[in-house]
Every structure is written in structure tokens, then in C-alpha cells.
Structure 1
């Protein structure tokens, strides 16, 4: 039952990452169009710059859980790589429980009222021609909620590995050509 929940979370974050990956394409197109309009026709707007920032925020916040799922997050592999898979799973488990989940929960706790205040007030950019700010601020709680869910999924998979219910290919990058859990 728990592994099924982990697969569902993995699938959710995979789909979100696939959708948000298009934000990079949009940002590049907008950046190029903005440069052409600014230097070719002397036309510009702060909205063009702000939408690029919003797209970057979406890419960063909403794709970070997918990075964790694929075990491509930043860590000290020079140290972790010296330990057995079992020891690495224990290190991950402690890191997720003692650091990842509490920090994400704290950020989520403060981000929800911050985003809701912006939404209720219809907060706008102070820049001339700027955009609404609340959609970008709503990305913060959404991203950290997805990260908490992915953290729970990773905890489930590490516990299942330590209990002998799955092998190391169940989390992160496929090892030795084996597919990762849920792929």
C-alpha cells in the first residue's frame, strides 16, 4: 500500500516536471522576442521581464521534487559513495526525516499565508507595466507541498529497501540498467 502511494507521488511529480519543462521553452522564446522588440523596434515592457522570472520560479520550484525523485539533488557523493547502498539509504532516510521534511514544512507554513495575502489583495508588481504577483507567490507553497510529498515517497522507498522489499533501483537513477520505481 505504501509503495503504491510512493508510485503515485512519483507519477504526480513526473507529470508536473514534464509540464513545467515547457516553461524553459517559453522563457527562451519570450527572452528572444523581448530582445528583438527592444533592440529592433525600441519596444519593451516590464511584463516581459517579469514573466521570465515567473517561468524560472515555476521551473525551479515545481521541478525540484522531480530532481529529488531521480536522486540528482546536491549531496556529497564523494563521501556517500564510499558507503554501502544500505548505509546510503540510512543516511538518506535520516536526512529526509531530520532536515528535508522539517525545513519544507516550515517554509510551507509561512508560504501559505504569504501567498494567500497576495492573492486576496490582488497584489501587482510595483514596476510600470508589471504583472500580478500572486500567481508567482502561489508557486512557493505548491512547490514545497510537492517536495514534501516527494520526501514522503523517498522515505517509503528507503524503508522498503532497508526491509528488503525492493532493491536499490527503487529510488533515484536506474542502477545497472534497471528501471526506477514507477518508471
Structure 2
């Protein structure tokens, strides 16, 4: 569990930093649009910074999303099974899909990013930026996803062994039904 907690903490910290990248991307996007429409000028560099920031948000926040159990799921089908069966389905998915796909992408992504870094690859757009930071995000994001996948596997195995409560890996956000009930309760009080 110590390894799982360390991985969770790492991805939580990265997600907190990435939240600022999202704010920066929104500000760059808004600023670029304002300048483009008010002054009739723009730069490809600003567009590329925006893309890089969105890529960073997507690639580096995905492991945190997995940690919070907020990835797209087929809860309509899986929700009908017992919690123990759901955990077995999660383990099956992690071992059969998540880890192999992430390992393949990491295997091909590392040379992809390193080649771009070694050649100091530049964007082909006029006024474009260096490309390697965006390409390095691919192996970095998938390495973090592999780590988070391992953390989730550890937590589910510990749950099956009776050593961990399911709240350690289930979504903590209220369900739509809980939100509706909370609204109803609030309206009854008023």
C-alpha cells in the first residue's frame, strides 16, 4: 500500500500543477482571440503554446482521472454486478487493456519523443515553436498512467483480500440521484 499511496500522491501533485496549465491555456486562447479579432494580427506560436498546454492537461491529468475513478465506464452493465465482481472486472480491464496498451504506447513513444528532442525538431508553421516538449508528453503521460494503473491494481487486490475499504478507489463524487435528492432536500428546507 505504501507504493500505491506514493503513486497516488505523485499524480495528485502533478494534477494540481496541470490545473494551472489549463488556466494558462484558457488565458492564452482568450488573449489570442482578442488580439486576432481586435488588432487583426496573430502568431502561430500562440496557437502552438495553446495546443501544448492542452496536450499537457490531457496527458498529465489522465492518471489522476483514473485515480478518481472518473474515466468513461459502462456502469449501466457493470453496476448490476456485486462490488466484488466489479472489482474483478476492473482488474481484468487493467491487466488485459490498460497496461498492455500503455506499455505499447510507451515503447513507441520514448523513441518518438527522444528523436524529436535530439534533432531539436521545430514546427513547420511560420513562427512555430520547438516540438519536442509536446512529443515528450506522450511517453511521460503513459508512464504516469502505467504507475496509476499499478496503484489501482494494488488497491483492488487489497480490497479482495479484505484489507482495504472500497472507498479507497471508488468515485467520491455524488451520483446524479444523490445530487437530485440533495436539491430536493434543499428545496424542502426553504
- Is the shorter-chain TM-score for this pair beyond 0.5, marking a shared fold? yes
Cα separation, 2, equivalents of 1:161 and 1:169: 10
Q: Which residue of 2 aligns with 1:32?
A: 30
Which one has a bigger Cα radius of gyration?
2
Quote the residue 2:88 is aligned against: 90
Q: How many residues align?
A: 174
31-40 or 92-101: bigger deviation: 31-40
User: What's the CA shift for 1:37?
Assistant: 1.3
> Residues 5-154 of structure 1: matches in 2 within 5 Å?
5-154=3-152
Query: Helix, strand or coil for the counterpart of 2:37?
Result: helix
**8 Å Cα contact 1:89/1:158 also seen in 2:** yes
Q: Which runs of 5+ in 2 are unaligned?
A: 175-190
Deviation at residue 175 of structure 1 after TM alignment: 8.2
What is the alpha-carbon root mean square deviation over aligned residues?
1.2
The whole-number CA distance in structure 2 between the counterparts of 1:175 and 1:51 is 32
Give the whole-Å Cα distance in 2 for the aligned partners of 1:77 and 1:135.
36
SS at match of 2:138: helix
| Counterpart Cα distance in 1 of 2:9 and 2:75 | 26
Find the aligned partners of 2:161 and 2:36 in 1 and give their Cα distance.
60
SS across alignment from 1:124: coil
Q: Which residue in the other structure is 2:164 paired with?
A: 166
> What is the CA–CA distance in structure 1 between the aligned matches of 2:170 and 2:45, rounded to whole Å?
38
Shift of 1:43: 2.1
Q: CA deviation at 1:28?
A: 1.1
Q: Which runs of 5+ in 1 are unaligned?
A: 177-183
1:179 maps to which residue? Answer: none
